[in-house]
Structure 1
């Protein structure tokens, strides 16, 4: 049985050629694609990778926590991995993004891409172009024209203006220009409103209804996150009455238990969990299965980094409908080569579709030269290093006691 024998953590900051101004963080010019990269290595040399988006170096000390919980773990025992991450979360540190690295190893040991391990088949995946910045009507029409010329059959707009009339004007301009040629969705980014840098509109149910009605009249395909993510009553009421599908659920760090409740309450018509936040692959797969059982749609959020995109691509291939569209982040300052900068080959679309990877695991290779250029390793954890640290902290007797406990522990079972 292989076990995890080494854990490495890197902070990666890929410079962007021009500042990116995400609609979801008004007033914040993002100058780098930042994320923390995790490398797991088994005692027989198999690697597993994952990456969590970062604002800065907020995870600087997480390596001290990962070692005791994850060293020596069987990487194919996902149930125990989930329980270890659950225990870490009791401290307020929810790190679902770690779990996909274990699936990467598990699929590599099986010699298949992850989507095949999960029951999916190789097929082209249809994509929708997911814009990131705010635009005025004329500029948005020009942007959508470029996506149409590139072969996309669906696009998602961003609205965040001070008034509902301004938001409707942008959507109406695009619908008038392209409504008979492509599917158009719109993201209000109200699920997790951020106003730390600049004031941002906070929608209530009345404004959400007005905008939803306007979108329905314009023939839009869906409305995304029109209310705060935890306003379950208002979401359910809006979804029940809206004349177009309401979508959301991307950053619910409560994972499967929270999203199961929202599914049962029908807070959304389409669930968009991102495995890097919503409990990892295992819990997100449960969400997709429950959506199918309840007649709801499933298509994941993917706007993090290239590795996060890869994880959700595999889930879409395994659990999504063949005719559904997967989010494809793309903007003038956020292109696939920048999003996937530490991968040897970016996930580049071809006429609005993407072929699934065929290599085992998550199907990518990390570009070690790019990682050396833009990444800084901030933690390395091995059994020897952990023992030395424990010896300093606990003394010889405490170290021996803890070593025996770790050796004798059995995998946890039957957690929710």
Structure 2
């Protein structure tokens, strides 16, 4: 019988930015990272990550919330549960309702799910990808977070790391960034491709009006042209008008939303974020449902490295033609906590054939950026 979880730690890191990163949601003035570590009675441990990019300073709230609720939420668990995310969210359901915070609660539960999977894989001596039913194989990746005002420098930086696929932000600034999107597309080299992400900037009519400037650029996909919770009829209307596959899912917060989105025919690419919702158990379920429906699974990720590596293992496990998202904006915490940097090898992102994630995050090496560290005992 596996030992129960007895200890949980929350590590909060933050990298201030000299120049803010502009987004549809407003400027990012810092890059935060929230890591958790769970440990069982035998001393075995696993790591997870909590999504915490928005709102500004939301990482402080999530760090405190995680420190308060995780010890009770993990009581009696061993890491052998088939779907820890469901167990934990059920335990925290009333709190999420009462506080009006289903998002932060799901993000914390997702991190715990990842950590418990990591722990279980380490116990078995297998990589996460193998635990999830696949093999630890390299996965194709793309460079995301390309800013309209910095695309040339970001292209060159990520090309030097082996990337040939790029995703640029649009939907804000003068002309909604469409002139810069055209300029960036004109600089693509042979064999390079591009996607664009509007981050929910428009309503359906506005999105359709923008298509005549986006479609000719040959984008692989148009991501979140309208809000994630807009009616599926609006998503279908944009999809039918565009001729470009639509991508979305990072802002879905329930299984029902994913099921409806997959069945709707509006999406070509489904992008759950395991650090926002579902962890590895929920993410794997959605990924396989999307693949069975003929869609492409491309995990969304924007954070501090642990979630990136866990997403790579999941993509390796489920297969398909999906791409791993790797942020190209300034974020040393992403490089550091990935355990290996961000460079591709032979055009793909390596997935280590070692137990669990394949490494231990170097929290001591980022101590100069640590904001807080909390530790809680988990009752048996």
Which range, TM-score by smaller chain? 0.7 to 0.9
Match of 2:248 in 1: 248
- Counterparts of 2:223 and 2:158 in 1: how far apart (Å)? 20
1:376-391, aligned counterparts within 5 Å? 376-383=372-379
Match of 2:257 in 1: 258
Contact 1:342/1:370 (8 A) holds in 2: no
Task: In structure 1, list runs of 5 or more residues that go unmatched.
Answer: 191-201, 384-405, 407-416
Contact 2:15/2:32 (8 A) holds in 1: yes
- Counterparts of 2:91 and 2:335 in 1: how far apart (Å)? 31
Match of 1:279 in 2: 278
Q: Which of 108, 111, 115 in structure 2 is aligned with 1:101? A: 115
Following superposition, the deviation at residue 29 of structure 1 comes to 4.2
Task: In structure 2, list runs of 5 or more residues that go unmatched.
Answer: 53-57, 97-104
Runs of 4+ more than 6 Å apart: none
Matched, 1:349 2:347: no
1:139-154, aligned counterparts within 5 Å? 139-141=150-152, 143-148=154-159, 150-154=161-165
Match of 1:110 in 2: 124
Match of 1:83 in 2: 87
- Counterparts of 1:209 and 1:179 in 2: how far apart (Å)? 28
The 3 A distance-change label for structure 1 pair 264 and 140 is same
Contact 1:125/1:353 (8 A) holds in 2: yes
Q: Mean Cα displacement is larger for which, 81-90 or 279-288?
A: 81-90
Match of 2:49 in 1: 51
Match of 2:100 in 1: none
Matched, 1:126 2:140: yes
Contact 2:326/2:342 (8 A) holds in 1: no
Deviation readout 1:222-243 (Å, 9 max, x if unpaired): 1111000101221122123321
Following superposition, the deviation at residue 160 of structure 1 comes to 2.7
The 3 A distance-change label for structure 1 pair 109 and 159 is same
Following superposition, the deviation at residue 277 of structure 1 comes to 1.2
Following superposition, the deviation at residue 148 of structure 1 comes to 3.8
Contact 1:213/1:243 (8 A) holds in 2: no
1:15-414, aligned counterparts within 5 Å? 15-16=16-17, 18-26=18-26, 28-31=27-30, 33-54=31-52, 55-59=58-62, 60-79=64-83, 82-92=86-96, 93-94=105-106, 95=108, 96-135=110-149, 139-141=150-152, 143-148=154-159, 150-162=161-173, 165-178=175-188, 180-190=190-200, 202-231=201-230, 232-254=232-254, 256-321=255-320, 323-331=321-329, 333-334=330-331, 337-342=332-337, 344-350=339-345, 352-370=347-365, 372-375=367-370, 376-383=372-379
Following superposition, the deviation at residue 210 of structure 1 comes to 2.6
- Counterparts of 1:330 and 1:223 in 2: how far apart (Å)? 18
- Counterparts of 1:61 and 1:353 in 2: how far apart (Å)? 36
Following superposition, the deviation at residue 312 of structure 1 comes to 0.9
Following superposition, the deviation at residue 132 of structure 1 comes to 4.4
- Counterparts of 2:21 and 2:161 in 1: how far apart (Å)? 23
- Counterparts of 2:42 and 2:260 in 1: how far apart (Å)? 41
Kindly report the root-mean-square deviation, in angstroms, between the aligned alpha carbons of the 2 structures. 2.3
Q: Mean Cα displacement is larger for which, 80-89 or 256-265?
A: 80-89
Length-normalised TM-score, structure 1: 0.80
- Counterparts of 1:75 and 1:150 in 2: how far apart (Å)? 36
Higher relative contact order (CA 8 A, sep 6+): 2
Contact 1:8/1:379 (8 A) holds in 2: yes
- Counterparts of 1:372 and 1:147 in 2: how far apart (Å)? 27
Deviation readout 1:152-181 (Å, 9 max, x if unpaired): 221111113356x45332222122232754
The 3 A distance-change label for structure 1 pair 8 and 29 is closer
Deviation readout 1:21-47 (Å, 9 max, x if unpaired): 142432x2423x322221110111110
Contact 1:73/1:81 (8 A) holds in 2: no
Match of 1:12 in 2: 13
Q: Mean Cα displacement is larger for which, 211-220 or 111-120?
A: 211-220
- Counterparts of 1:238 and 1:132 in 2: how far apart (Å)? 23
Q: Mean Cα displacement is larger for which, 302-311 or 93-102?
A: 93-102
